[in-house]
Amino acid sequence: MSRTRLIYRSQPFGFDSAMLASILSAARRNNPQWEITGALICRHDVYLQLIEGPSASIEALYSCILNDDRHIDIRLLLKEEMDERLFPAWSMLDDQAPSLFWSADDVAKGALEAASPQDLRAPFIRLSEAHPG
């Protein structure tokens, strides 16, 4: 079975703590049945999410994400085959202290789209090391 890791960015639409709680609750409820794990880094100006799991499950979830009206300007940044998960114990980890390494100005200027795969993985690797499960 092939497994995929996907990283995308989007802009929150009406971001607040209740919306974030709703997103995390749904992910934590639904992701285990599809064998999906991952992490969400969120700020008022950007969601940066990594999801990983069976390729078919990732494709189905990303299709749902594209139709979710809680965010706009969704952009796929990285899609790759993977052997080992970064978040094996997390149906969806959220970064309570947004450790995103790009400023809001950098994000607005396209820094995420210009980032290398290694740079895109970096905040998630640090997050996974800080929260091993």
Work out how many domains the chain is built from and give that number: 1
Domain that holds residue 77: 3-130
pLDDT mean over 34-59:
93
Q: Give residue 130's pLDDT.
A: 87
Contact 39, 100 (CB under 8 A): no
Sheet containing strand 93-94, strands side by side = 71-81, 3-12, 47-54, 37-42, 93-94
The per-residue pLDDT for 100 is 65
pLDDT in tens, 22-35: 888 989 999 999 99
Per-residue pLDDT at 99: 63
What's the CATH number where 71 sits? 3.30.70.100
Name the more confident of 42 and 14.
Answer: 42
Is residue 59 classed as helix, strand or coil in its secondary structure? Answer: helix
Examine the pLDDT at 37 and tell me if it is beyond 70.
yes
